[in-house]
Chain A
Amino acid sequence: MNASQPQNATHETGACRCASRREFVRRVAVLTALTVGGVALGSERSGASKRLNDDRMAVLVDLKRCVGCRRCEWACAGANGNSHGPIEECDDQSVFSTRRNPSTDRFCVVNRSVGHGADAKPVYAKMQCMHCEHPPCVSACLVGAMRKDPSGPVTYDASKCIGCRYCLVACPFERLTYEYNSRFTPRVRKCEFCRHRTQRGQVPACVEVCPVEALQYGRRDDLLKLAHRRIADHAGEYVDHVYGETEGGGTSWLYLSPRPFEELAEVGLPALSSHSPAERSEHIQHTIFKWFAAPIGVATLLATLNWFTRKGSHS
């Protein structure tokens, strides 16, 4: 009983000292975070266009022209070595009854939006990797397996991939797929913008096969001008917006639609802000580590604290 009192006293004294030190450290941490975060957010944005080629390629999809023939799906499967049946399989319209997402053996799929009203015409929208200007999948990839090519495509290198699937989580369009059924060498599967074809001077397979030329392959700048001119020339026939010009910080796939894009979220055109999710996180992180400032700052802070506490103990 006698021995317990000094212990209690010591504990109380220690608690007092702990609280003040904890409070001190907490304040310093908050101050540091606010300073660094504020500097990061407030400083100049690093534009994606700086890293990209001015002649980077893109595809313009005109949803008013698309007739939902699904030849793009078939050609895509053929060009990427995925399994597919005869071309007549495209005539099966029953697939439109449910919404489909890209899968490991079908990188592009067409969905139908029936629309509202008695005289609403169906709109068919092709969905595939959008090849973002500032791809979150590239940002999230730990090992650099995902790469944004300055000429437009977002490419995947299976030899580097460690299978973390952060890219699947990061993609705001949910277009990436993973070979969960492959036991030993699973890969992320996605549209590669027909890189193997474009390098040979061909256009992507889906663009080539499209019978109505609803898909057009060209320089992104040219296509944007073309899209805006088409909206102006056909007043009232298109929504005055080019999807992908700014969505998610801009994409290589651009869409023109006769119906409001808000109605087309169900077929793979979700409403996104004009900033890539990757842009902000990368920006904060890059600013913190600019000139190795954060490690130096933290080391300096700790050294200062150490110096003060030592001085206090000496005195």
Chain B
Amino acid sequence: MVRAIRDRYRDHTDLELHVNALLTSLALAACTFSGLAASPPTPTAQAGRILGPDVVILDQVVGCYGSVRFDHRLHTQMSTIQGECKNCHHELQAGSQQTSEPVIRPCRTCHEPMSTVVTSEKPGLRGAYHRQCLSCHKDWSHENACGYCHTSSAMVRGSAVGTKMPHAANPPRSFAQVVYTYQTGHAPVPVVTFHHADHAEKFGLQCVDCHGGSSCGQCHGSKIERPVVNREESCFKCHTQSRCVTCHDRQERPAFDHSVHTRWWLRAGHAALACSACHVAGEMPRRPTSDSCKQCHAQRWGDTEFDHARTGVALRGDHEYFDCLECHRGGDQAMLASCSSCHTERYVAGERRVGRVLGELPTGFPQPPAGVLHAPD
């Protein structure tokens, strides 16, 4: 109970917050916490942004029903999926929610308490509230019974903060299958296997990357059990360079295996890494660069530059300037550099020793800085 009261005072802002609705049974306790009341309100802050109060009591419109205890924090968290503050605070212009302190005015500053004879599009305060809430709630729960939001006492309805799972922190993946297999009409490769778990967990995609919808009802509609994905948009957002057979096949495909699919075997510490440790999420093609390697092999371990000599192999001459992945090309022995991929017989034989490359470099070979290499002994 103490915590509840503290929450209420903490939520006190200049919005439609109404703190005098404390239960009369708590009148004795109220004086105990008067010190808390005197302290300025502390809006919830997340990642340097002001996210407003945790709870807002809507009691400006008095009618047949009681006030509404609006869980602002929960809605703020859910809004990270789509639209952010502008979902409700429509007077905010695009991008203005990025500022540290968005100017948010109470609804009542613009919306009159009751609209009578209509002369403009602006709804009254009651209409504004209801439209705002029902625009989502009607879609996803088809719930329009008044008692769903209105309560006879503001304190009866317990706080939903912490009791529900906000999407941003806990995406509802439990409903998804691990793999979906689609039969298409594209002979001779009709089968498309979509490994949902791979995309969601291994590839680091957020739900909204594919399921980004315009409303809550797209996922929460009573008729729609599975969120609808526009495959034209969602798949090709990443698979821009892909061909038909990237997805289509004759039969179902196995889940993603880094060793099989990339021929770059994950061993030792690499096996435990998330994809995004080396690959930039959502970026195709996914081939990492030396920068990815140096994220750990240089900077994270305190070295400004990775000293390859620590591995027992000192890089000299031209090799200093190579991209890590030029030598570490994958395969079963991914970590072992493959010299023979460059130093073929024609270089080794005769007067040309290993490490001395004369003449033109093979196609695709990284170009070294001018004047450094290719000087004959």
Interface residues of A (CB under 8 A from B): 57, 60, 65, 67-69, 87-88, 91, 118-119, 121, 202-203, 210-213, 216-219, 222-223, 226, 229-230
Instruction: Please determine whether A222 and B118 come into contact, CB atoms closer than 8 angstroms.
Output: yes
Q: Tally A-B pairs: CB < 8 A.
A: 59
Determine the chain A residues whose CB is within 8 A of the CB of B186 once the complex forms.
none
Instruction: Please determine whether A213 and B64 come into contact, CB atoms closer than 8 angstroms.
Output: no
Interface of B is mostly: loop
Interface residues of B (CB under 8 A from A): 64, 115-121, 123-124, 126-127, 130-131, 134, 138-139, 144-147, 217, 221, 223-224, 228
Instruction: Please determine whether B121 and A230 come into contact, CB atoms closer than 8 angstroms.
Output: yes
Determine the chain A residues whose CB is within 8 A of the CB of B138 once the complex forms.
67
Instruction: Please determine whether B130 and A212 come into contact, CB atoms closer than 8 angstroms.
Output: yes
Known contacts A67-B138, A119-B221, A119-B228: A223-B118 contact under CB 8 Å: yes
CA A185 – CA B269 in complex, angstroms? 93
Determine the chain A residues whose CB is within 8 A of the CB of B64 once the complex forms.
87
Determine the chain A residues whose CB is within 8 A of the CB of B145 once the complex forms.
91
Determine the chain B residues whose CB is within 8 A of the CB of A57 once the complex forms.
117
Instruction: Please determine whether B223 and A118 come into contact, CB atoms closer than 8 angstroms.
Output: yes
Instruction: Please determine whether A218 and B119 come into contact, CB atoms closer than 8 angstroms.
Output: yes
Q: How far is the CB of A112 from chain B (nearest CB, A)?
A: 11
| 15 A-B interface contacts by CB (under 8 A) | A65-B131, A119-B228, A121-B217, A203-B117, A211-B126, A211-B127, A213-B123, A213-B126, A216-B115, A217-B117, A218-B117, A218-B118, A223-B118, A226-B118, A229-B121
CA A223 – CA B117 in complex, angstroms? 10
Determine the chain A residues whose CB is within 8 A of the CB of B118 once the complex forms.
60, 216-218, 222-223, 226
**Best-buried of B118, B119, B145, B146 by chain A (most CB within 10 Å):** B118
The 7 A-B pairs of least Cβ separation, nearest first, read: A213-B127, A218-B118, A216-B118, A211-B130, A91-B145, A212-B130, A67-B144
Determine the chain B residues whose CB is within 8 A of the CB of A222 once the complex forms.
118-119
CA A87 – CA B65 in complex, angstroms? 10
Contact of A119 among B126, B131, B224 (CB under 8 A): B224
Determine the chain B residues whose CB is within 8 A of the CB of A118 once the complex forms.
223-224
Determine the chain A residues whose CB is within 8 A of the CB of B124 once the complex forms.
213
* A213 closest partner in B (C-beta): B127
* B223 closest partner in A (C-beta): A118
Determine the chain B residues whose CB is within 8 A of the CB of A219 once the complex forms.
117
Determine the chain A residues whose CB is within 8 A of the CB of B146 once the complex forms.
69, 87, 91, 211
**Best-buried of A60, A69, A212 by chain B (most CB within 10 Å):** A212
* B64 closest partner in A (C-beta): A87
Determine the chain B residues whose CB is within 8 A of the CB of A229 once the complex forms.
121
* B217 closest partner in A (C-beta): A121
Known A-B contacts: A91-B147, A203-B117, A211-B126. Give 20 more (CB < 8 A): A65-B131, A67-B138, A67-B144, A69-B144, A91-B145, A119-B223, A119-B228, A121-B139, A121-B217, A211-B127, A211-B130, A212-B127, A212-B130, A213-B123, A213-B130, A213-B131, A217-B117, A218-B117, A222-B118, A226-B118
Determine the chain A residues whose CB is within 8 A of the CB of B223 once the complex forms.
118-119
CA A27 – CA B34 in complex, angstroms? 102
CA A202 – CA B117 in complex, angstroms? 9
Determine the chain A residues whose CB is within 8 A of the CB of B117 once the complex forms.
57, 203, 217-219
CA A213 – CA B145 in complex, angstroms? 16
CA A222 – CA B121 in complex, angstroms? 11
Determine the chain A residues whose CB is within 8 A of the CB of B126 once the complex forms.
211, 213
CA A88 – CA B147 in complex, angstroms? 9
CA A213 – CA B64 in complex, angstroms? 16
Contact of A213 among B115, B119, B217, B228 (CB under 8 A): B115
Contact of A67 among B123, B134, B221 (CB under 8 A): B134
